[in-house]
Structure 1
């Protein structure tokens, strides 16, 4: 399985949090140039990257109930979607800040179909898929574990949307998809369920 080390994330960008919040909007069209690996690295770090270690636990960019961290971030890359990556599917490894190729062939059309044919998924050069091993959180919080997992997915996705604003990228939240079809397309193990799709790409000059 191919492994790709990612560039270090930036932690001192020039766009303020307030500015990113003020300009954030869902955008459904993308410029043609492929994504740069540095942009991919920044987005995945924003979703699930490690910020520090506390009591032996790698703490991540998005808050997690009891630091159970049920989320797994995947990157689906369309043909010619990223200058440094082949088309296919990659799993983000937060501790090592690297990608592991899990599906080494194009699945872009299949993912679009699983997302009910939405044009934004088809148009995007890449899509971040947030999946969850919800049992990790349910074991610790049997009454509210599912709620916490979905909250965490929202936290992680919002980080991605705000980083897109800070880097003149585009993103759009997608929740309408066939769960089983997405899981099959991504060849997810049974313990993982897809929760959130975030198509991403470069911003056209006129937007």
Structure 2
């Protein structure tokens, strides 16, 4: 069962993040490490899905998708997507609209604890849709994932070349989401056309984070 927990200053922080948030944190169900479909099948069947049913996502499936994007692996240090220098510049945000067991709102995924930190309340899908050239699949999806980046975490070591490395990492995380979604019977669509400043405002992103891409997720 998932449960809200309060963080304190002694909790372990994710690499490169701010000090502990005072907001409640939702512990996600443990991710599964085995599935019923092969990687070859997910590659063959993956498609961009822009039309979704009204069926809600389960919290366990949301947990699995977030873990696929940036979850910690069994060695408890590296993550599911490769990162230049293991510097992990990405931040993953969930905009929940129709997820069983999860209030509508914006959440940040905390990989080290496999949990969600609530950023703000309210259904932001319509706002996000309007900020994304009014593409309806973002409004109609059960939930939306936004991948943002703090470039400085990587450029401090690699200079301007680090910008390319961050983009490579964002693509790896997005493909992980798409393949994980396919294995769960969940449709996904990667979107790159949006107003950066508006998306950052909707999600209340810190000034050092830039949105890279948006993924709508939902049952077909």
Q: Specify the TM-score bucket, using the shorter chain as the normaliser.
A: over 0.9
What is the Cα deviation at residue 190 of structure 1? 0.4
Equivalent residue, structure 2, for 1:20: 42
Q: How many residues align?
A: 198
1-structure distance, mates of 2:115, 2:79: 15
Equivalent residue, structure 2, for 1:89: 106
Within 5 Å, give how 1:29-68 maps onto structure 2.
29-53=51-75, 58-68=77-87
Within 5 Å, give how 1:30-179 maps onto structure 2.
30-53=52-75, 58-78=77-97, 81-179=98-196
Does the 8 Å CA contact 2:81/2:172 hold for their aligned counterparts?
Answer: yes
TM-score by length of 1: 0.93
Give deviations 1:69-128, integer Å, cap 9, x for gaps: 0000000012xx101111110000001000010011222211111111101101101001
Give deviations 1:37-92, integer Å, cap 9, x for gaps: 000000000000000447xxx210000000010000000012xx101111110000
Does the 8 Å CA contact 2:125/2:144 hold for their aligned counterparts?
Answer: no
What is the Cα deviation at residue 2 of structure 1? 2.3
Moved more, 105-114 or 68-77: 105-114
2-structure distance, mates of 1:109, 1:47: 24
* Structure with more contact order per residue of length (Cα contacts < 8 Å, sep ≥ 6): 1
Give 3-state SS (helix, strand or coil) of 2:147's partner.
strand
Give 3-state SS (helix, strand or coil) of 1:116's partner.
coil
Give 3-state SS (helix, strand or coil) of 2:41's partner.
helix
Query: C-alpha root-mean-square deviation of aligned residues, in Å?
Result: 1.0
Q: 1:5 aligns with which of 2, 27, 40?
A: 27
Within 5 Å, give how 1:168-207 maps onto structure 2.
168-203=185-220
Q: Structure 2, unaligned stretches of length 5 or more?
A: 1-22
2-structure distance, mates of 1:200, 1:16: 21
Does the 8 Å CA contact 2:146/2:215 hold for their aligned counterparts?
Answer: yes
What is the Cα deviation at residue 143 of structure 1? 3.6
Give deviations 1:137-156, integer Å, cap 9, x for gaps: 00110041000000000000
2-structure distance, mates of 1:146, 1:183: 19
Does the 8 Å CA contact 2:50/2:188 hold for their aligned counterparts?
Answer: yes
2-structure distance, mates of 1:14, 1:144: 39
Give 3-state SS (helix, strand or coil) of 2:146's partner.
strand
1-structure distance, mates of 2:72, 2:59: 18
